[in-house]
Structure 1
Amino acid sequence: MIIEDFLNYLQNEKRASPNTVRSYATDLYQLKEALGKDPAQATLPEIRLYLAKLAQKISRASLARKLSSFKAYFRFLKKNNKLNDERLLFLKGPKLERKLPRVLNVDEVFAMLEKPTGDDFLALRDKAILEILYGAGLRVSELASLSIDDVLLDLQVFRIKGKGGKERLTPFGQKAKTALLTYLEAREKLLKRKKKETRHLFLNVRGKPLSSRSIHRIVKKYALYLGLPEVSPHTLRHSFATHLLEAGADLRVIQEMLGHARLATTQRYTHLDFSRLARVYDDSHPRAKRSKKNEGNNDYRRKKRR
């Protein structure tokens, strides 16, 4: 029952997302099965042996994620005086190469947003989804969980319930509003035709709530139409943040819109390209005096990106 107590703690006190709770449950029950006992009774050598076997089967990133689940559980056990071996609190995972997520340039994003065409339900829905993912920078889970009540059309704002149950208001632009209004009309017609009622915003053709996995497939489909592999909803979220940053938006404003609890998370999530660094240096530093040749190179870089 100790694992179940931990999962209840995650869900009810930490307000972790359903996906997080499911991932932790999978990791911990797999560990329990491998050990033949609750991990609360495990020793450091037993856990190290299990991790060593896992390392031969899964990637470093997957191993690090599982270890994160284990350590969260061990901290919970320590807090409740049920941890058998306190050395488990100091387990170290594999070193990971920190990679920036892929970001699309403005032209690539615009081409993708224009790809859904037609006035059928699916095209209008997909158009709205893409516009909102890029226009508001939402997580895919946040988009999937949106209800009609979360849309404040007059203010052009979404009421978002993010990680840990924290609420925030996220603005969206006129393009997203236009796409959303058109979709809402098609949504209402679909529900009348199917004789169904639901407060969920995004639906499938049967009138049921659209899942995060389905949204992933939608984004990937339109990206592949344009020959853009490895594009996900997170790619549009990252592109949203990066383009704001490149246009001069304050990092703390971006942090608020993304729903990050710590500024450090936003700093890792976004990045500055060389052209912006050079432009800020030229405009700000009193001793810059960059040559005309370098200025021309910077102009060329900017035009190339457009």
Structure 2
Amino acid sequence: MDYRDELDAFVRYLRVNRGLSEHTVRAYDGDVADCLSMLADRGVHSLRDVGIDDLRVWMASRSRSHSRSSMARKVVSIRAFFAYLAEHGMIDADPASALKTPKIPSVLPAVLSERQARDLMDTVDRDAESDASTDAAGAVDPSGGSIDSGDGKRTVKGRSDHAVAPDHAAALDHAVALRDAAIVELLYATGIRVAELVSLDVADIDFSTHTVRVTGKGNKQRVVPFGVPAAKALAAWLEQGRPVVPHGRSGGVDSGRAGGSSADGGGIAGDAAFLGVRGARINQRVVRQVVHRSAARAGVPDISPHALRHSAATHMLDGGADLREVQEMLGHSSLQTTQRYTHVSIEQLIERYDQAFPRA
């Protein structure tokens, strides 16, 4: 079955007409190609020959090796593809219109308590203020080892391609600690996604209004406020830490950045708000490592950057923020997505009630 022309046209439609991010477009492309390849192997010769039973066979086959959430995404991709074909007259009828999306169990997001979040922020701030020899965020002790470069590479002190002088190595270690404190503080203060954080440029941060301009899913922009602690951590990194890091091009960064044409790591790393040790724009994997390491040092539950996003939303609602305000801050297109955090807040309220009320 020859389907590449139709799939290429669909991909262009997603990118140009719907303005989806490169990450999302690639997911659609891969899901549809997987389905059509399997149907071709089963003897389906034309897109016009595809029926609902063929699609259900594909679903049954893939469900054995994929989670419900993955299958739900794949079904959305297939339905969008065949709807596009039918709308543009490439097929007579849409066989996927009756294809049902698998039900996904509702799982409440993991969050830190306010005390745990405070302990985490205090820990990264202390690390940033401590001596440059602190092994913050992957920097090693003087006996040897390696520094996580932030762009997916590791540099062995004194034994890399570009040997680092001891005094500069110490300054670089301290710069990494400043960077990591700013990362953790900003993730919690704003609730932004990790892909949104790595795509930030210096020009996106406005210290006069304590806001950051974020490019989120679908290349949509929003402005998110941050508080004084995050502002101090950001200023320390940008003024004291970032100048220590050599600036280069960002060609090696993670390809999952939010946004438009720079999603594949293009652009000048010198514009990036957060850099790796080698000077490239920091990637998502290293940001996740920073958060995991910081949580371990603080003695709080192991969390991901997305859990900090969940925590920020929950704590805002606990503090009396309006649900729509939180929706705007997080960049949710649907209020239903934001409403998950009200359930977390209610659960925590019940738990505190049971612990504190004498007749609970």
**TM-score, L = length of structure 2:** 0.72
Residue 190 (str. 1) matches residue 228 (str. 2)? no
Kindly indicate whether residue 341 of structure 2 is the aligned counterpart of residue 273 of structure 1: no
1:42 is aligned to 2:50:
yes
The total of aligned residue pairs comes to 285
Name which of 3, 7, 28 aligns with 2:7: 3
Structure 2 vs 1, CA of residues 133 and 83 (structure 1 numbering), >3 Å: closer, same or farther? farther
Residue ranges of structure 2 left out of the alignment (5+ in a row)? 133-173, 250-267
How does 1:1-306 map onto structure 2 within 5 Å? 1-36=5-40, 41-116=49-124, 117=127, 118=130, 119=132, 120-185=174-239, 186-191=241-246, 198-225=270-297, 226=299, 228-229=301-302, 231-271=303-343, 272-274=345-347, 276=349, 297-298=356-357
Relative to structure 1, the CA distance from residue 131 to residue 7 in structure 2 (aligned partners, 3 Å threshold; closer, same or farther) is same
Deviation at 1:262, TM superposition (A): 2.9
RMSD (Å) for aligned C-alpha atoms = 2.8
Q: Report the secondary structure of 2:223's partner residue.
A: strand
Pair 1:43–1:154, CA change in 2 (3 A): same
| CA–CA distance in structure 1, aligned partners of residues 181 and 280 of structure 2 | 18
Any conservation in 2 of the 1:31–1:39 contact (CA below 8 Å)? no
Question: Deviation of residue 268 (structure 1)?
Answer: 2.9
Q: Deviations over 1:208-265 (max 9, x none)?
A: 0112222222222323443523x21111111101001011111111111111223222
Equivalent position amino acid for 1:263 in 2: L
Distance 1:44 1:16 in 2: 27
Structure 1 CA distance, aligned partners of 2:179 and 2:34?
39
Structure 1 residues 92-114: Cα deviation after superposition (integer angstroms, max 9, x where no partner): 13222111111110121122223
Question: Which stretch shows the higher mean deviation, 118-127 or 47-56?
Answer: 118-127
Q: Which amino acid aligns with 2:228?
A: Q
Aligned-pair identity (%): 35
SS at match of 1:114: helix
- For residues 90 and 80 of structure 1, what CA distance do their matches in structure 2 show? 19
State the 1:45 CA deviation. Answer: 1.4
- Which segment drifts farther, 8-17 or 153-162? 8-17
The CA deviation at 1:193 is 10
Unaligned runs of 5+ in 1: 280-293, 302-306
- For the residue of structure 1 that corresponds to 2:339, the secondary structure is helix
| Aligned equivalents of 1:82, 1:125: Cα separation in 2 | 52
Rounded to whole Å, the distance in 1 between the matches of 2:121 and 2:46 is 49
Which whole-Å deviations, capped at 9, do the CAs of 1:60-117 have from their partners, x for residues lacking one?
2221121121112122222212245423112013222111111110121122223331
Q: What is the TM-score when the length of structure 1 is the normalising length?
A: 0.84
- Secondary structure at the counterpart of residue 160 of structure 1: strand
- CA shift, 1:49, in A, is 0.8
Distance 1:193 1:31 in 2: 40
Contact 1:241 1:270 in 2 (8 A): no
SS in structure 2 at match of 1:249: coil
* Cα distance in structure 2, aligned partners of 1:142 and 1:206: 21
- Secondary structure, counterpart of 2:66 in structure 1: coil
